Structure 1
Amino acid sequence: MSKEFIKTTEQASNYDHLEAMSIAEVVEHINTEDKKVALAVEKVLPKIEDLISKIVEQLQNGGRLFYIGAGTSGRLGILDASECPPTFGVSAELVQGIIAGGDTAIRNAVENAEDNLLQGWEDLKSHQISSKDVVVGIAASGTTPYVIQALEKCNEHQIPTGCITCNKNSPLANTAQFPIEVIVGPEFVTGSSRMKAGTAQKMVLNMISTTTMIQLGRIKGNRMVDMQLSNQKLIERGTKMIQEATGENQEISKEALLKFGNVRKAIQYLQENDKENK
């Protein structure tokens, strides 16, 4: 007997007559609802750990991580993937976000894109997806056809699958091998899953990418030693990291950073030089 599927993301808000509320009342109530999100995520930490363990295993063996979703969920996946190269210095190929409707859908809604049963798998195939990779479907409702069918095809081709959803016992969770179900309850604005559900998905994505990159050796101590030096702020941050790690002054630290273009390599260079001079 299948478990009951209740779409809590579509249930009526706990608040009514929103238009009659003052600005102070609206923000207070939204904040009250947002406080529930971290607690909901806490309940599924073991499930998040299971998925991350599989992702790390796949990436250590030469695979890639793909997020796939529609609408807000798809955009969140793209956001998380796009932050990995500048933050951790990895290739843009390692973590990739795919959204129903393609790049146009990042900024604009694409009609019926999420209802296409075949396109999700086609989009993954365009990246030469293989059993070395891992695919995480993201859908607040857990009912998005584009995402569900993509994961079903992945399962058929022995590609590990996970998901992040905000309804219990959804079709998506029943499809994914490593499901994460963060039950945040009704939204402040009924059905607006860009709110609590979106926040929950972002929190889980932060955990997935950050923990994975730590496990892959992309953090030293608590520092982003492989970050891309794409602006002056990051050069200054990198210089400070090198100073703290080596005890060198700002001028020498910055010179080494600019020479190698990488915090980790600059630290290694200065530490090796220091050993040779002792």
Structure 2
Amino acid sequence: LIHIGEKQPAGNTKGELELKEVLIHQFQGGQLAQRIRATRGRVRVDEKERKYVFDLFDVEVQNRELEKSDPDTGVLGGMGRWYTFSAGELSTEVPYGRTEKTARRLKDNELTFNELWQNWQARGQVATVDMNGTVAELKYAGKPPTYPAPDTVLQVLRSGKRVGKVRTTATPDSGQLLSVLVTEGELKPGDEVRDVGKQVHLHGQFAFSCACLGFMMVGIPLGIQTSRRETTVGIAVSILLVMVFYSFLLLGHALVDKPEWHPEWIVWFPAFLFQGVGAMMLWRANRT
């Protein structure tokens, strides 16, 4: 994973870029193994070897002692220590992706119920945060634990309020900690990490199913009270009900970044509202 602060063409040299604030993360088995930080540098593409060649200056390199599981007990070992050294110049090569089409990450509305349920259950906890606050490790419970998919944005909660965001980069082996990039906020060990977006979408699917009952309960008394000549009134009421329902669905998805407002319950409001109003209208129609 490569992050570049600024880039611009390298003078008259074709195919090269001058870079500032370069940060390169290299992963191994789903764990962050090395981090290279440079204040400036250059990059060129070696099309024959299919790789990027970085020439970096004022470099700080951090290597990590990876955790390994014991072959007999399966318990993770190693302290995960970081070893840092500085260098005036450093050249490194990063291969770029193959030309074959990679699998597209599915959107929330393309996932099955079981997949949504598994992602909703995948709730992690911040185990460690590096000294720079840019990389954290998450611990997931379960046997085997359920990890979020790579390149997924997760919300970080502390006492029910969002304090930051992280992004996954790879899926580790079962039982290992998940290394993520901190994209927003200051994390602390013990913070809860979950995918609020998938939680809201899952609740929205249930609310959509229950809304049919609410539509029916409102539609029956309206059909009794209005005559055939008042079809325009029925059409207008139907459109209004649908607009109210979908507006609350959109509101719930828009409030994903505010989990303290419980957007997963907001999507239920129109279903309960229609059922309550429909029950009252049926009661009044029965009295008349």
Report which of the two has the higher share of helix.
Answer: 1
TM-score, normalising length: structure 1? 0.27
Relative contact order, higher structure (CA 8 A, sep 6+) = 1
Report which of the two has the higher share of strand.
Answer: 2
TM-score, normalising length: structure 2? 0.26
Structure number with greater Rg is 2
